[in-house]
């Protein structure tokens, strides 16, 4: 049975250190992190082959090379990868220290772009993920160029970005855009979190040539625009351990579904189930493929009319 293949563009993964409590004592966890890493883990869990394209440099980059855990196409650079230390001993994430990533040099940027283009064209489905919010290892224009060049040559591009990075990627007309309602509000694309305003934002995004727009709404069901029709996405209720990473897992499920040859609607169900599973677990981008597939059968898509 074909597994499908997805390329994930993660320009600068992070080294993450999280302190928790085990039997009353500090319990330290060291992982590779960042949006693209978390997405790649979930794609792999769903039985789809994944290739992560990233730049690695400095001591943090050396450690990350051994922690990423999926097939890696790494560009060796002098720019350091970022890192953070979070303290979760009281049940919430308390940032202790954050080290931002360094910007890539012009030549390194060209090499990373070329490597991602080759891998994306080979895979046929590519996810464009961003670095940490305050990191700027690559210019925003890279997202426009990748979306445009990959899409023009038959690759279906899935975008999970916000702000100037999203605006740049939209100029390249990606196939799928996943965005949260908080990001739409912060970017001034929606006037409120009411469904009619979010729907208007979806229409504006779709006007860039995007076929599917998915807006995650935290604990509420997502709103999706698929080939001109709106749907409300209802997922089974699960207990919540950590809400971070739910949107990244949803993006992973969307991309995995496309790589497996599923329809946009079935890919949306898989993405919604992956997001739901992630929030009931410790660790981002985690969750077993069996439980995601089982829950996907229980996801409901209900048509929603804009004049409500």
Residue 26 domain-assigned (yes or no): yes
In sequence order, which residues have a C-beta less than 8 Å from that of residue 228 and are 6 or more positions away?
206
Q: Write the pLDDT tens digit of every residue in 60-119.
A: 999 999 999 999 999 999 999 999 999 999 988 899 999 999 999 999 999 999 999 999
pLDDT averaged over every residue in the chain: 90
Give the CATH number of the domain where residue 209 resides.
Answer: 3.40.1190.20
In sequence order, which residues have a C-beta less than 8 Å from that of residue 290 and are 6 or more positions away?
none
Q: Residue 86: what pLDDT?
A: 94
Residue 47 domain-assigned (yes or no): yes
Residue 205 domain-assigned (yes or no): yes
Q: Write the pLDDT tens digit of every residue in 264-300.
A: 999 999 999 998 876 554 444 455 667 888 888 888 9
Confidence of residue 235 (pLDDT cuts 50, 70, 90): confident
CA distance 130 to 38: 12
Domain hosting residue 243, numbered range: 5-303
Confidence of residue 189 (pLDDT cuts 50, 70, 90): very high
Confidence of residue 2 (pLDDT cuts 50, 70, 90): low
Q: Residue 278: what pLDDT?
A: 60
Residue 308 domain-assigned (yes or no): no
Pairwise pLDDT comparison (255 vs 281), residue with the higher score: 255
Q: Would the pTM of this model clear 0.85, i.e. be above it?
A: yes
CA distance 125 to 119: 10
- How many structural domains comprise the chain? 1
Q: Residue 238: what pLDDT?
A: 59
Q: Write the pLDDT tens digit of every residue in 131-164.
A: 887 788 999 999 999 999 999 999 999 999 999 9
Q: Convert the chain into a string of H (helix), E (strand) and C (coil).
A: CCCCEEEEECCCCEEEEEEEEECCEEEEEEEEECHHHHHHHHHHHCCCEEEEEEEEEHHHHHHHCCCCCCEEEEEEECCCCCEEEEECCCCCCEEEEEECCCCCCHHHHHHHHHHHHHHHHHHCEEEEECCCCCCCCCCCHHHHHHHHHHHHCCCEEEEECCHHHHHHHHCCCCCEEEEEHHHHHHCCCCCCCCHHHHHHHHHHHHCCCCCEEEEEECCEEEEEEECCEEEEEECCCCCCCCCCCHHHHHHHHHHHHHHCCCCHHHHHHHHHHHHHHHCCCCCCCCCCHHHHHHHHCCCEEEECCCCC
Is the separation of the CB atoms in 306 and 230 below 8 Å?
yes
Residue 47 confidence (pLDDT) above 80: yes
Q: Residue 132: what pLDDT?
A: 81
Pairing of strands 300-303, 229-234: antiparallel
Residue 194 confidence (pLDDT) above 90: yes
In 3D space, the residue among 35, 43, 38 whose CA is nearest the CA of residue 3 turns out to be 43
Q: Mean pLDDT across the stretch 11-30?
A: 94
Residue 17 domain-assigned (yes or no): yes
Residue 147 domain-assigned (yes or no): yes
CA distance 2 to 298: 24
Residue 176 domain-assigned (yes or no): yes
Confidence of residue 219 (pLDDT cuts 50, 70, 90): confident
Please, what is the Cα angle at 70 between 65 and 73, to 5 degrees? 60
Q: Residue 241: what pLDDT?
A: 47
Confidence of residue 1 (pLDDT cuts 50, 70, 90): very low
b/e 233-271 (16+ beta carbons within 10 angstroms → b): bebeeeeeebeebbbbbbbbbbbbbbbbebebbbbbbbb
For the four alpha carbons of 151, 153, 154 and 155, in that order, the dihedral sign comes to: negative
Pairwise pLDDT comparison (7 vs 297), residue with the higher score: 7
Residue 239 confidence (pLDDT) above 70: no
Is the separation of the CB atoms in 142 and 109 below 8 Å?
yes
Pairing of strands 125-129, 71-77: unpaired
Q: Residue 288: what pLDDT?
A: 60
Residue 182 domain-assigned (yes or no): yes
What percentage of the chain exceeds 90 in pLDDT?
A: 78
Q: Mean pLDDT across the stretch 187-209?
A: 95
């Amino acid at each position: 049975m074909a597994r499908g293949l997805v390329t994930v563009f993660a320009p600068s993964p992070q080294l993450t250190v999280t302190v928790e409590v085990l039997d009353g004592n500090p319990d330290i966890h060291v992982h590779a992190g960042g949006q693209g890493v978390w997405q790649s883990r979930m794609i792999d869990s769903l039985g789809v082959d994944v290739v992560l394209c990233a730049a690695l440099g400095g001591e943090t980059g050396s450690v990350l090379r051994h922690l990423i855990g999926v097939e890696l196409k790494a560009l060796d650079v002098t720019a350091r990868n970022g890192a953070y230390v979070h303290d979760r001993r009281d049940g919430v994430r308390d940032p202790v220290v954050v080290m931002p990533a360094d910007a890539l040099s012009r030549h390194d940027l060209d090499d990373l772009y070329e490597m991602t283009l080759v891998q994306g064209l080979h895979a046929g489905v590519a996810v464009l993920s961003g670095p940490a919010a305050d990191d700027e290892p690559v210019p925003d224009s890279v997202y426009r160029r990748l979306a445009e060049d990959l899409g023009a040559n038959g690759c279906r591009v899935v975008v999970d970005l916000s702000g100037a990075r999203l605006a740049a990627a939209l100029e390249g007309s990606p196939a799928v855009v996943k965005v949260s309602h908080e990001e739409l509000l912060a970017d001034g694309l929606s006037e409120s979190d009411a469904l009619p305003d979010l729907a208007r934002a979806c229409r504006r995004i779709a006007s860039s040539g995007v076929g599917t727009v998915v807006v995650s709404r935290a604990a509420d069901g997502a709103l999706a625009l698929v080939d001109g029709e709106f749907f409300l996405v209802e997922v089974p209720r699960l207990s919540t351990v950590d809400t971070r990473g739910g949107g990244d897992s949803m993006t992973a499920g969307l991309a995995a579904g496309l790589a497996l040859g599923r329809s946009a609607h079935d890919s949306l169900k898989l993405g919604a189930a992956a997001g739901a599973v992630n929030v009931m677990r410790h660790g981002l981008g985690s969750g077993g493929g069996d439980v995601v597939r089982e829950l996907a059968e229980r996801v409901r898509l209900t048509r929603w009319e804009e004049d409500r």
